[in-house]
Structure 1
């Protein structure tokens, strides 16, 4: 592994002005004829590309032989400097524990908005170069950094793998630098045309489907925490979790499990079938008042270490989303989206009246720099989009729409998990490797299943 820092302009509108650095990790190719660099982004937004590449160097002998694998932490993220910083560890713990989101009363909505406003203000107070960083942390500027990185690595054209939010980086790069694209694998797509409200409802639909798949598995187990009847499983889940709003469950480390943490832990487990057994155990433990397993799942989602320290991923997530999309201030639209969300993901319905609270983006100190749209990718070579039928976080149709919008090929994986490339599914991995190495796309309508 080699690590470095890439120096880029803080504001590309003033390229001779202040600079920031991007953290970069490279694993050099070996054992085959080198093609060039292969850049990765694992999504988030806010996840570390350096950490992702460090953990995947044995995922594909073909790719590690032919490419230098390169991970970068987007501006404001991880090892890049300065980091976006908003909440202290104690403030993050307190926010997770308060369950304020369940109070839809006028007073509850006011309290939620005060918390959202305070979050935006703390981001401004605690992030170095905050005015320019919070205005220029979005995808518009990340792809310019990526183009600088491509050149610094000595590549004439970009080869790229983007997961989840990383698909937005890929489509935005292709639109901004169409002549610089060699190949792109985009896995777990965001729909490029959806606004924040539609995207949220679509994600709810994804989690709703994933929960239904979990239930189908659970009711066949002897110790299913939700009983033996799929028709009553959602109510059984609600009966377990809703009481946490008023009465938190004990956790082995002395904390208390909130309703928010229980649902966050559930969502974390729905990202992959490998965590279904853990989720079932956690729900069974909750029946006897122990919230430790669900809390560990929620800690994983929030990237809280055993020492109580958090990564800054959640801070960066909000900052990037706030400048990537138009802010939503229409309260009628917010209320409608909440109602639609609960219709498609009823297991997450807390049973209390909804309130139309504005989120932190409504109070963000800088305007958005992007808007949802179909990318204009004239001149871009065909890309490979991979979409999973029961992806909980980025629904299958989003991949269909991205492939169509970018005039690329669609590879379908039949499963329940979030993203799949280089995770041991031979059919998917082979298709992606063939495309990245020699440009061969899978035949139209290709579907992969199992391992």
Structure 2
């Protein structure tokens, strides 16, 4: 979420410890791949060509895939069209499915198609897969849908990993970063075929109603993680009467400004880093000693050392403090990934950057020198259109002071300025305000008490905002709460999705 560090608040980052170990269940290939009739009730004539589409599913590995045509601009459907990519993991049970369950892994910019194709068992538990057709989709601008395109692999390496020539914090350093951001935005504009002004969460939420309809469902059943909670809440704002069973896990506060997001996330990652350090110090393999405060001071010294004297990796890239911070953040999404962080920090202390770059590369969707998705491009496109540029210099200075006080280890590398969206090719169109979704069915909001990417206070805020919000609290570490081995959370979510009975508001799962 941070524009400075480009935090991807998504389930994909949280799955670091499990990626490559999850395999989608094979559906019964004897079942037909046809679709139900689209739901066109109450649709205006200008939208009927979109809402009246019949889906043509084709086999793709062990799943079904298709595309849906959507308006480029929902405010002017005649302006043009885009394509949305869908994948379906068909219900595995023998009874009639409850319908479709749309999923979103977060970001913005993470691929829902990739999530279902590569790790559907991580995204959705077995009882839910038994009774729902689980639908992954790439929102507009993302992945296999009509996508934001900016830089080639070498250019992206330079943008994400090159170390600025000027000293950190100087005017020249800020000017250099802003020039990079401006060149990045210009490349996105040049290579994205005119779609940038329409890559917004509001348009993506309207796309979801189109997907609901062409899948043949009269209500939307949805499981959204991280940024996907903002997408789901925005859907509920526009279509409260179409809300079915919505679960929003790892909530984003729709009323928070980008500056607020930056500060809260920075403090959240500092808290998660301290929790990691406390655990590390109990392990003989930990490269740090002493109290948590002393170990955090030593880590701060290590970051400053790498900032001053970067470490060359085998592929020639230089590991500076920013890339090391990206590696640290990547590992903090899941407590199961802390072991990788210990290895990375031990190696960096010995002058070896390889594991740190592996973590940073995972975070940036980079494999074998190539970027396998466009999450960085889509992330920037959505955030620059969704968040108003309304922070004053005084507010920025205050935010930096708060970070320095409450997140002293992270603060020097958690820039709240310069803001890359200052030089985005288009001005933002989004607003930051509470979402109430009056008239919607119960909406279950799951928050984890020490979630660094979407801090717990955001879940509390979103559940309070929503007229029908129901808060479920997971006490623990890491990003998101459902399908993480907490039986209390899993039972609450599954009972709602499968039976329609929401949990008691305020349920606390130790």
TM-score range, shorter chain: over 0.9
Please say if residues 400 and 411 of structure 2, whose CA atoms lie closer than 8 Å, have aligned partners that are also in contact: no
What does residue range 169-318 of structure 1 map to in structure 2 within 5 Å? 169-318=231-380
Q: CA deviation at 1:329?
A: 5.7
- Whole-angstrom distance in 1 between the partners of 2:367 and 2:252: 28
395-404 vs 114-123, greater mean Cα deviation? 114-123
SS in 1 for 2:478: coil
SS in 1 for 2:77: coil
SS in 2 for 1:16: helix
- Whole-angstrom distance in 2 between the partners of 1:203 and 1:14: 36
Q: Which residue of 2 aligns with 1:446?
A: 507
The reply on whether 1:390 has 2:450 as its aligned counterpart is yes
Listed as ranges, the gaps of 5+ residues in structure 2 are: 1-62
Q: Which residue of 1 aligns with 2:179?
A: 114
Q: CA deviation at 1:424?
A: 3.2
- Whole-angstrom distance in 2 between the partners of 1:93 and 1:155: 43
Q: CA deviation at 1:416?
A: 0.8
Q: CA deviation at 1:224?
A: 1.5
SS in 1 for 2:75: coil
Q: CA deviation at 1:357?
A: 4.0
Q: CA deviation at 1:355?
A: 8.3
Q: Which residue of 1 aligns with 2:441?
A: 381
2:134 to 69, 77, 82: 69
SS in 2 for 1:86: coil
Per-residue CA distance 1:125-163 (angstroms, 9 max, x = gap): 1112x2xx1111010100111101100000000000010
Would the alpha carbon gap of residues 299 and 355 (structure 1) be closer, same or farther in structure 2, given more than 3 Å must change? closer
TM-score by length of 2: 0.83
Per-residue CA distance 1:362-401 (angstroms, 9 max, x = gap): 1222232221111131110111000000001111110011
Length, aligned pairs only = 443
Per-residue CA distance 1:238-257 (angstroms, 9 max, x = gap): 11121222321132333221
- Whole-angstrom distance in 1 between the partners of 2:132 and 2:167: 49
Please say if residues 311 and 352 of structure 2, whose CA atoms lie closer than 8 Å, have aligned partners that are also in contact: yes
Q: Which residue of 2 aligns with 1:139?
A: 201
SS in 1 for 2:296: helix
What does residue range 22-33 of structure 1 map to in structure 2 within 5 Å? 22-31=84-93, 32-33=95-96
2:393 to 331, 353, 360: 331
- Whole-angstrom distance in 2 between the partners of 1:309 and 1:63: 32
- Whole-angstrom distance in 1 between the partners of 2:160 and 2:129: 40
Q: CA deviation at 1:337?
A: 1.8
- Whole-angstrom distance in 1 between the partners of 2:329 and 2:288: 16
Q: Which residue of 1 aligns with 2:492?
A: 431
- Whole-angstrom distance in 2 between the partners of 1:64 and 1:226: 43
Please say if residues 42 and 52 of structure 1, whose CA atoms lie closer than 8 Å, have aligned partners that are also in contact: yes
- Whole-angstrom distance in 1 between the partners of 2:116 and 2:372: 21
Q: Which residue of 2 aligns with 1:97?
A: 161
Q: Which residue of 2 aligns with 1:422?
A: 483
Listed as ranges, the gaps of 5+ residues in structure 1 are: none
- Whole-angstrom distance in 1 between the partners of 2:209 and 2:415: 43
- Whole-angstrom distance in 1 between the partners of 2:383 and 2:505: 33
Q: CA deviation at 1:356?
A: 7.3
1:48 to 96, 111, 114: 111
- Whole-angstrom distance in 2 between the partners of 1:86 and 1:341: 31
Q: Which residue of 1 aligns with 2:31?
A: none
RMSD: 1.8
SS in 2 for 1:224: coil
Per-residue CA distance 1:51-107 (angstroms, 9 max, x = gap): 1122444442221121110010000100002x1012222122122333339622122
Q: Which residue of 2 aligns with 1:165?
A: 227
